[in-house]
Amino acid sequence: MTRPFVFITRKISDNVVSMLEQHFLVEMWCEEEEVIPRELLMEKAKQADALLTMLTDKIDEELLTQSPYLKVVANLAVGYDNIDLEAAKKNNVTVTNTPDVLTDTTADLTFSLLTATARRIPEAIDYIKDDQWKSWSPYMLAGSDIHHKTIGIVGLGNIGQAVAKRATGFDMEILYYNRSRKQDIESELGVKYVSFEDLLNRSDFVVCMTPLSKETEGMFNREVFKQMKDTAIFINSSRGGVVNEEDLFKALESGEIKAAGLDVFQNEPIGADHPLLTLDQVVALPHIGSSSLETRTEMMELAARNIKQVLNGGKALTPVHI
């Protein structure tokens, strides 16, 4: 009997590949940086029992209906907006993600981005490297304080909660808005539930942690930015599609808000000519939220274990509930 076929859509750890090879026939698109061409992905998916996918792979209805053997798509991310869940359900394909293992790493990055933006750290690095530092001066690269300010977290899932814990260490007032109130953890985390409007009006830092869905797509638009303080700093490490980037640009350029720290963009990767990069008050990162060696390895291992479970007839460890 031939062994089930697992196709991996990007170069991942050799150890994880070996772990899968003990049980399955494994093939991998061996590029580190380059997204697998659509035609090749379609061709491999047609033969595969399992796909280990990246958030850059579009796993849509067309692919799912043309992949007769496919039983599981293990996405190397906690987000799964690249996958058509309804089509997966219709085709009896289990979808898994990598929650929990990346929570603290992504929260660390989110908070680093917040501090880098507030204290203008990238500008300061350029300043010294460009030989502009001629003397000490009272307002040289003066940023905004973080401690004792108000942070508003939009989306209090696991990563949002981990961001709240970090904010506690900075003595911040912590507000949150979520689809459903999370009363049971409010006192433990020291967070206050407020309406979205209240959060926008009161926060010095508005931190977007909400997943991308039909409901959240483009939710940070001009009207929303207008409700923020003109000293507010907007942070997004969730998904770029939650933000209307043209509106964000206008809000920053016109001084409706002060600055933005962005790890994610509507269409990734962005080029160096992206309008938001022309603004000094924007700190931009190339979607590295969960990118530590330890965490990325754990994510790969979890994705592989999910595949092993499903192909061996068991239950996925971290299924996406459809």
Q: Choosing from 10, 120, 166, 239, which is the catalytic residue? A: 239
Nearer to ligand DGY, 48 or 209 (CB): 209
Is 287 considered catalytic here?
Answer: yes
Nearer to ligand DGY, 82 or 309 (CB): 82
Q: Choosing from 120, 287, 296, 305, which is the catalytic residue? A: 287
Cis peptide upstream of residue 122 (ω within 30 degrees of 0): no
Nearer to ligand DGY, 54 or 141 (CB): 54
- Smallest distance, ligand DGY to C-beta of residue 212, A: 10
- Smallest distance, ligand DGY to C-beta of residue 189, A: 22
Show the tokens assigned to 248: 């964000």
CA–CA distance, 277 with 297 (Å, rounded to integer) = 31
Is 32 considered catalytic here?
Answer: no
Nearer to ligand DGY, 102 or 163 (CB): 102
- Of 72, 83, 128, 133, which is closest to residue 306 (Cα–Cα)? 72
- Smallest distance, ligand DGY to C-beta of residue 53, A: 12
- Smallest distance, ligand DGY to C-beta of residue 155, A: 13
Is 120 considered catalytic here?
Answer: no
Residues contributing to the site for ligand DGY (CB under 6 A): 55, 77-79, 102, 289-290
**Residues carrying an active site annotation:** 239, 268, 287
